[in-house]
Copies of this chain bind each other. A is one copy, B any other.
Amino acid sequence: MPVNRTSKTKTAIVKSAMELFALHGYKGTSVRKIASKVGIRESALYNHFKNKEAIFLTVCSDIFTTPFAQKNIQDDAKKGKKFLAGFVVQYKLVSFDTKKEKLFRIMMIELLQDPVLRKNFLDESHHRNIALLSEAFFVMMQSGLIRSSDPMFMANEFLAPLFYYRLQVTLFRIDSEPTTALSTLFEKHVDFFWESIAIH
């Protein structure tokens, strides 16, 4: 089947490109290196992609596939700490997922250089999470579970350490250093934060 074979090469290109982009960024990755990693000549790449940027866009296409598909925040948020713990479990899973980590590396490298990527990060990652958490904290305040404050600011305070820990995980993994000590930070964050805002 030609469709199958085409698909195989194209998949291999995306996979190899993803690894190289994650290591050396967009500018530091040449089409020749991608082709070489796949095992073909550089000109063969152009049978599958229009140009280098098209490869990059395909690699980046599922950077922001949101894993936090919360449906009933109004109800779930009433569970208080359990809701936050669930959120962090998802966040932690993403942080330690091998493929997601590569995409995270690419995002961090290009974040300050690529306007589109930057906008997507702010919209799809930051604002989306902030909106979700803001709504949850608002519900918790109304339910008398936590002390009253600005929900959106509280969301920022809750999200920021998660991002920081994720970045640290990524940095440690680049240098092949153990991340076991970092692993517990996520759960400790939930405990610490809940202790900070809960009404006992």
Interface positions of A (Cβ within 8 A of B): 23-25, 27-28, 105, 108-109, 111-113, 115, 118, 121-122, 126, 149-150, 153-154, 156-157, 159-161, 163-165, 168, 170-171, 174-175, 185, 188-189, 192-193, 195-197
Contact = CB atoms under 8 A, between A and B. Distances in A.
Given A122-B171, A171-B122, A192-B149, A24 B156 contact: no
A165 B149 CA distance: 19
Contact of A153 (B28, B113, B192): B192
A131 to B, nearest CB: 15
A118 to B, nearest CB: 6
Contact of A112 (B159, B171, B192, B193): B171
11 contacts: A24-B113, A25-B113, A105-B112, A109-B113, A112-B171, A126-B168, A156-B161, A156-B165, A159-B164, A160-B160, A164-B164
A185 B153 contact: yes
Contact of A160 (B23, B153, B161, B175): B161
Contacts of A174: 112, 118
Nearest to A110: B109
A188 B149 CA distance: 11
A156 B171 contact: no
A115 B175 contact: yes
A157 B161 contact: yes
Contacts of A197: 196
A2 to B, nearest CB: 37
A170 B109 CA distance: 14
A25 B24 contact: no
A153 B24 CA distance: 32
A170 B112 contact: yes
Most buried by B among A28, A159, A160: A160
Contacts of A175: 115, 118
